[in-house]
Amino acid sequence: VFESVSAVSVVAGAPADGVSWLSPGGGFGGSHPTYQVYSLIIATFLGTMGLPHVLVRFYTNPDGRAARATALAVIGLVGMFYLFPILLGVFARLYVPQLLITGTSDAAVLLLPGSVLGGLPGKLLAALVAAGAIAAFLSTSSGLLVSIAGVLSTDMLRGRIRDFRMAALAAGVVPLALSLTVASLDLSRTVALAFSVAASTLCPLLVLGIWWRGLTAKGAGAGLIVGGLVAGGATAVSVLGGASEAVADGWLAAILGYPAAISVPLAFLTMVLVSTVTRGQGPRAVRRIFVRMHAPERLGMGADRERVLRAG
């Protein structure tokens, strides 16, 4: 127990007082904390569009108007979620400040209910929070697994049930094997890097594809490649060990650790510039694609089935 006027020790790198705690990027370390915190905001906010909760809207709506409406609603609802981590940080600072001493601040979400309520109600609320977190992890990972397996089975294989099972196995085993070879990273860093890739690829594609008629297939492809290479390359360097000691506190290390502030505008710019100098598909071709996507399978109008019919 500390006296009211005594100094409380904290782990190295953690904010030592309230002013430092409130300053942007106070807990990131490095020489560019302000860039890091705003790049993290861009990654988490815009990377939300790459979640399966949003992507699945384009498979379950009959037309483009309905897809735009539901995608916007889901993005707004998921965006509201980002208010709760802020409240979690404030309440953790008030009710469980001792976690700064031990360096186990990640446990705040589990310890906070018991510290606020106490007794059996606090334990029940903590159990509910833990169960909700596990359910969210499983639902997100399973949604991504189904999305990846669906793309692989229909675009690279013949689209049969057996192909989907093989694609699902590959989509699960490959990331699992890669995760065993990478360096250990803080959870916030891992989430920021994953969302940076989504924000640099799927976000520009969805925003421009839904609300800008000038986007072309070549422009979309070029933007996906540029954004994916920049964000994915930075992610690969970070998970494999990060920048060398010579540039550990410079701009290069900050960009490699938090690339979204660079890769997202670059992906948008690439899509716009390439689309302005290339020619897109006409309205009839777009309507034909929508019909193939949403027509019942028994009609045999899918693109993969059309290729089989032509070959026959």
3-state SS of the chain: helix, strand, coil percent to 5? 75, 0, 25
Q: Residue 239's Cα: distance from chain center in Å? A: 16
> Which has the higher per-residue pLDDT, 161 or 190?
161
> Over the stretch 82-109, which tens digit does the pLDDT of each residue have?
788 888 888 887 888 777 676 677 778 8
Average pLDDT over residues 133-143: 80
pLDDT value of residue 283: 66
- Which residue bears the tokens 């229909």? 154
| pLDDT mean across residues, the chain | 77
For helices 33-47 and 260-276, the axis angle rounded to 10 degrees is 50
298's tokens: 């028994």
Does the residue 130 lie in any domain? yes
- DSSP code, position 308: H
Q: Does 294 fall in a domain?
A: no
DSSP state, residue 2: -
- Per-residue model confidence (pLDDT) at position 247: 53
Q: What is the DSSP letter of 259?
A: -
With 50 as the cut, is the pLDDT of residue 246 above it? no
Q: Answer whether residue 175 is part of any domain.
A: yes
Contact assessment for residue 96 and residue 71, using Cβ atoms and an 8 Å cutoff? no
Which amino acid, residue 184? S
Is residue 141 a part of any domain in this protein? yes
Tokens 């970070």 map to which residue?
238
Residue 264: how many other CB atoms lie within 10 Å: 24
Backbone φ and ψ of 40, nearest 5°: -65, -40
The answer as to whether 127 is a domain residue is: yes
Band of the pLDDT at 308, cuts 50, 70, 90? Answer: very low
- What's the pTM? 0.67
- Residue 131: inside a domain: yes
Contact in structure between 296 and 234 (CB atoms under 8 Å): no
CA–CA distance, 199 with 190 (Å, rounded to integer) = 14
Q: Let me know if residue 203 belongs to a domain.
A: no
169 pLDDT more than 70: yes
Measured distance CA(305)–CA(276) in Å, rounded = 33
φ, ψ of residue 306 to 5 degrees: the values are -65, -35
pLDDT over 60 (residue 303): no
What's the structural domain count of the chain? 1
Residue 154 domain flag: yes
Residues 6+ apart with CB under 8 A from 157: 163, 166, 167
Q: Which residues span the domain enclosing 125?
A: 117-181
Closest CA to 48 of 191, 236, 152: 191
- List the single range of 10-19, 35-44, 75-84, 143-152 with lowest mean pLDDT: 10-19
d(CA 205, CA 89): 33
Residue 258 has pLDDT above 50, yes or no: yes
